[in-house]
Amino acid sequence: MPEPKWDDLRVFLAVARSESLSRAGKTLRLDPATVGRRVARLEEALEAVLFMKSPQGYALTQAGARLIARAEAIETAILNAQEDASGGAEALTGQIRLGAPDGSANYLLPQVCSAICADHPGLEVQIVALPRVFNLSKREADMAITVSPPTAGRLTSQKLTDYHLHLMASEDYLKNAPPLRTLKDLKDHTIIGYISDLIFDAELDYLSEIGGPSTKFTSNSVSVQFNWARSGAGLVIGHDFALPSAPEMRRVLTHEFSLKRSFYLVRHADDRNISRLRLFAEELGARVRQEVARLEGQT
């Protein structure tokens, strides 16, 4: 196979990750027709069909799948060369996109990332808060925080910290609700939780830990659940690190029920030598641990 040009491989990677000419064009700031011509040019040069068009978008063929690893290795080498050439091999600058579940994205990462950027003025951070698993192979983010370590793919992970969850509710709800002395009393209470078929990680199935009581209010967003509880709608299993932001909330039945979970930082294996990502991961890990300890200490 002849050696393709990086400019064409860049277009190939954008289409492979987005599965769309138009979305790839937005990433590359090219019109979709130009993206299509560039893909066709690469296929002609390699004498191979790289994509199959389907109603779902552009899917990689076997030849395209074989090219991915080669293209990503070249991409990583170019990113490292650019850092070296700019003299920023050990500088924390540029743009980093961080994916995260919405609980950490709402109650931890804004202050943590603000502190990191204050120490590194040349750094720009994007937080993508989505209640699902991020696909780092498609470059949806440079790195992602998860509640479970990955079990497949060319990914690396490091444990960031443990965190804790308890049953909690607003003072207004508890003042007007039936007595709540043991977990058996939950049957008389309004429960807030996840939409069961949208739980994307078994670690988030909190209610199963207390026998799976029936729910009246459900959301795929932990922040929506927490804010429902803040409004007095019912009981929720919430993050202890979110409590300092809601003085009207308090924990209940702490002697009977407590959960411990963990956050992991997941990165693409090919990115381990990119210094800005390595430096950011180091600072993020240290500051997330400190912030969780600080916030949980206030509960």
Last residue of a domain, one of 56, 85, 114: 85
Residues 139 and 268 in one domain: yes
DSSP characters over 20-78: SHHHHHHHHT--HHHHHHHHHHHHHHHTS--EEEETTEEEE-HHHHHHHHHHHHHHHHH
Residue 127 lies inside a defined structural domain of this protein: yes
Residues 235 and 266 in one domain: no
Q: Which is more confident, 78 or 123?
A: 123
Residues 277-291 have pLDDT tens digits of: 889 999 999 999 999
Residues 145 and 190 in one domain: no
Query: ∠ CA 106-109-115 to the nearest 5 degrees?
Result: 135
Mean pLDDT of 137-154: 82
Q: Are 182 and 253 in contact (CB under 8 A)?
A: yes
Residues 151-190 have pLDDT tens digits of: 877 788 999 999 999 999 999 999 999 999 999 999 999 9
Residue 41 lies inside a defined structural domain of this protein: yes
Residues 111 and 64 in one domain: no
Residues 206 and 287 in one domain: no
Confidence of residue 274 (pLDDT cuts 50, 70, 90): confident
- List, in order, residues 6 or more apart from 176 with CB less than 8 Å away: none
Mean pLDDT of 111-118: 96
What's residue 88's pLDDT? 47
The number of distinct structural domains making up the chain is: 3
Residue 81 lies inside a defined structural domain of this protein: yes
Q: Kindly report the CATH number assigned to the domain that includes residue 151.
A: 3.40.190.10
Cα–Cα distance measured from residue 146 to residue 63, given in angstroms and rounded to the nearest whole number: 31
Strands 123-129 and 94-100: parallel
Residues 157 and 288 in one domain: yes
Residues 181 and 35 in one domain: no
What's residue 89's pLDDT? 46
The proportion of the chain whose per-residue pLDDT surpasses 90, expressed as a percent, equals 62
List the single range of 8-22, 125-139, 210-224, 244-258 with lowest mean pLDDT.
125-139
Residues 268 and 145 in one domain: yes
Query: Domain range spanning residue 44?
Result: 6-85
Confidence of residue 119 (pLDDT cuts 50, 70, 90): very high
Residues 134 and 270 in one domain: yes
Residue 1 lies inside a defined structural domain of this protein: no
Residues 85-107 have pLDDT tens digits of: 555 445 788 889 999 999 999 99
Cα–Cα distance measured from residue 221 to residue 224, given in angstroms and rounded to the nearest whole number: 5
Residues 125 and 216 in one domain: no
Helical (H) or strand (E) element with 26? helix 21-28
Q: Kindly report the CATH number assigned to the domain that includes residue 38.
A: 1.10.10.10
Residues 48-57 have pLDDT tens digits of: 999 998 888 8
Residues 247 and 170 in one domain: yes
Residues 266 and 147 in one domain: yes
